[in-house]
């Protein structure tokens, strides 16, 4: 299968380069459907990629490369779980038990028990999603082929983390890189901190995390995060030329050399996952998400 057309992304093989195009409006937010199609992509590549010798990831949407995780889906999922799911059932059971046993202030105990159940279930559900994301991103990161991201506009959160799995980033001048996660009470959970530490350094990680600021393409280039900055609208065309260069090298040599040059920060990734899953079940995250999805002003992305 050299071509695929999914609901969130598509790919086709062009001159031995597998071109992956993200196309989920409004700005390629990563939810379950994107994850499933990324898993399909990784399976395809691990199975030989139909003869692909390089991978190029870009966005087919004018709005940008990727605005990050699908926060609206996350919000809806958490809300549904809270309103209809186990916490309500747990609360009913706990109330019955408390009443039967004649426990003084049983209502409070029941509420706290239900909240603990809720958090455990959120950690379990989101932990499962994060495990799958990590498997996909780690596979992309360690593919024995050169991988290139061509980015423009917002490269935020999970989108930034997706770009960081690639070996080289070609940025259109409009690209902006940002880790806005702390605004939601979480840390980046798709491998962003360990990869940015590896590729650029921890001072940049701290600058982005602790201020929530975004970096323009030129600044990202100065820092070494971006390989080339190109005029608006030219990233894909330049990235195609970049992707053709390693085709001249023997893949038997290129694969192991890349693996040596780009070690997977496995220990830090595992630690990030643990911290993310713990934080995401806190009530402040649900509140921040609620605030995000209900904001009607024009400035939800500004820090």
Question: If residue 3 lies in a helix (H) or strand (E), which one and from where to where?
Answer: strand 3-5
Active-site residue 39, yes or no?
Answer: no
The encoded tokens of residue 21 equal 């195009």
Taking the complex as a whole, how short is the minimal distance between the CB of residue 13 and another protein, in angstroms? 32
4: Cα separation from own chain's centroid: 21
Q: How many residues bind another protein (CB under 8 A)?
A: 24
Q: Which stretch binds another protein (CB under 8 A): 32-40, 100-108, 213-221, 257-265?
A: 213-221
Distance CA 195, CA 205 (A): 10
Q: Is 213 in the site for another protein (CB under 8 A)?
A: yes
Distance CA 29, CA 283 (A): 23
Taking the complex as a whole, how short is the minimal distance between the CB of residue 298 and another protein, in angstroms? 5
Active-site residue 161, yes or no?
Answer: yes
Residue 27 or 169 having the CB closest to another protein: 27
Q: Which positions from 20 to 49 touch another protein by CB under 8 A, shown as an x/- string?
A: -------x----------------------
Distance CA 243, CA 240 (A): 5
Choosing from 19, 29, 37, 161, the catalytic residue is 161
Closest CA to 164 of 204, 125, 128: 204
Using CB atoms within 10 Å of the CB of residue 86, give its burial: 0 to 12 exposed, 13 to 18 middle, 19+ buried.
middle
What angle (nearest 5°) sits at the alpha carbon of residue 49, between those of residues 45 and 51?
145
Site for another protein in 97-156 (CB under 8 A): 153-154
Q: Is 217 in the site for another protein (CB under 8 A)?
A: yes
Catalytically active residues are 161, 181
Residues of this chain that bind another protein (CB under 8 A): 27, 63-64, 67, 153-154, 173-174, 176, 178, 211-214, 216-219, 298-303
């Amino acid at each position: 299968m050299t071509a695929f057309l999914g609901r969130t992304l598509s790919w086709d093989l062009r001159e031995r380069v597998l071109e992956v195009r993200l196309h989920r409006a409004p700005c390629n937010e990563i939810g379950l459907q994107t994850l499933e199609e990324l898993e399909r992509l990784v399976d395809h590549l691990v199975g030989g990629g139909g003869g692909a010798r390089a991978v190029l990831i870009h966005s087919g949407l004018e709005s940008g490369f990727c605005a990050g995780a699908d926060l609206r889906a996350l919000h809806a999922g958490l809300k549904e779980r809270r309103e209809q799911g186990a916490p309500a059932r747990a609360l009913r059971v706990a109330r019955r038990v408390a009443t039967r046993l004649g426990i003084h202030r049983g209502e409070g105990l029941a509420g706290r028990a239900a909240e603990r159940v809720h958090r455990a279930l959120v950690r379990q559900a989101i932990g499962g999603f994060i495990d799958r994301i990590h498997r996909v991103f780690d596979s992309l990161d360690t593919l024995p082929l050169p991988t290139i991201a061509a980015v423009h506009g917002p490269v935020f959160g999970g989108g930034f983390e997706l770009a960081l799995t690639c070996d080289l980033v070609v940025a259109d001048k409009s690209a902006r890189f940002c880790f806005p996660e702390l605004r939601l009470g979480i840390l980046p959970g798709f491998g962003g901190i360990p990869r940015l530490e590896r590729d650029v350094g921890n001072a940049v990680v701290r600058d982005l995390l602790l201020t929530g600021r975004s970096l323009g393409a030129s600044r990202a280039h100065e820092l070494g995060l971006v390989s080339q900055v190109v005029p608006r609208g030219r990233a894909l065309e330049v990235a195609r030329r970049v992707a053709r260069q390693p085709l001249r090298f023997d893949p038997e040599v290129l694969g192991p050399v890349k693996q040596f040059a780009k070690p997977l920060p496995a220990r830090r990734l595992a630690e990030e996952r643990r911290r993310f899953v713990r934080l995401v079940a806190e009530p402040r995250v649900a509140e921040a998400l609620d605030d995000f999805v209900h904001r009607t002003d024009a400035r939800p992305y500004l820090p």
